[in-house]
Chain A
Amino acid sequence: MKAKGILIYRCQRSTKPKYPFLVTSNKINDLTTTSTIDIISLNDMYLRFEDKRRITSGIGLEINVSDLRRSDGKYLGKWIAEISSLYKYCKHTGIQFILSSGATSICELISGRCFDSLLKTCDIEPKSYWNDLDTWLQSRLLKRRIILA
């Protein structure tokens, strides 16, 4: 299937693809060998060792900025430090690190330039991050036989 446009939907469960979509979940326990989950959203930055082992290579690990901005400066600094170490871990293990705005309204969106600055703050090179994300998205959608036109 050739998908037009650039919108990729987030779904809780796998359906028949008419438009490009990715399956997301915020429970690591949902990850099984037969699950079709593409992205795991993290609510808590501190992953347990068992949880880390469950997330296999190729799965996206998502952190929402909307969760971060609710915390105070002290915890926010801690989270940013954790993000940089988590990114290194993801790079090492082949997990795709995804930093998402988690926006539910227009004001919660993050502009491109702000996003790049935020990535640099987290010790992530924006160019390599976007390239990796693009490659990962293409490969993930290609598994469902969806080609972005």
Chain B
Amino acid sequence: MLKRRSKRRYIAIRCDKFNPESGHVIYNSGFAFLLTRRISELFGYIIAQKSSIRDIGNSRNNIFIVRCNLNFLPIVLSAISLMNPPALVLLISGTIKRLRINLEEPNYPPLVNANNSQIDNQFREFNFL
């Protein structure tokens, strides 16, 4: 019987308030450790180990890339949304190459600017600002 490698998913996460501890380098930012700890708190140590979360690197200062087992992706995603400091999932991809391409060239309009201007305009009309 063939022993097949389990499928993985690469997740790009934005976390502004995470300060890597001293000693951690680009490929070991400590973010995966923080996430694994949260998963083990919520779902147990076995699930945390099986989800095999690894640091892949941080593309910018506040964007971290982690890898996890596909079978445990829902658990990882729900743990990310319950993390402290808060973290936002930007992209999920099957390959690191595609993830990096999508991160560099987003095929969607910048959400922040569009929403901010819309909210600003409407609030100005509403006399809240």
A binds B: yes
Which residues of A line the B interface, CB within 8 A? Answer: 5, 7, 9, 18-19, 65-66, 68-70, 72-74, 76-77, 80, 103, 105-111, 113-115, 117-118, 120-121
Listed from nearest, the 10 A-B pairs whose CB atoms lie closest are: A73-B41, A117-B77, A117-B78, A114-B81, A117-B74, A108-B86, A121-B78, A118-B78, A114-B77, A69-B84
Inter-chain CA distance A18–B122, complex, in Å, is 10
Residue pair A109, B88 in contact (C-beta under 8 Å): yes
| B86 to A: closest C-beta gap in Å | 4
A74 and chain B: residue at smallest CB distance: B41
Say yes or no: A107 contacts B84, CB within 8 Å: no
Can you name 29 A-B pairs with beta carbons within 8 Å? Answer: A7-B118, A9-B126, A19-B122, A19-B126, A68-B82, A69-B84, A69-B86, A73-B41, A73-B42, A74-B41, A76-B41, A76-B42, A77-B41, A77-B42, A80-B42, A106-B88, A107-B86, A107-B88, A108-B86, A108-B88, A111-B90, A114-B89, A117-B74, A117-B77, A117-B78, A118-B77, A118-B78, A118-B81, A118-B82
Decide: A111 and B87 in contact? CB cutoff 8 A.
no
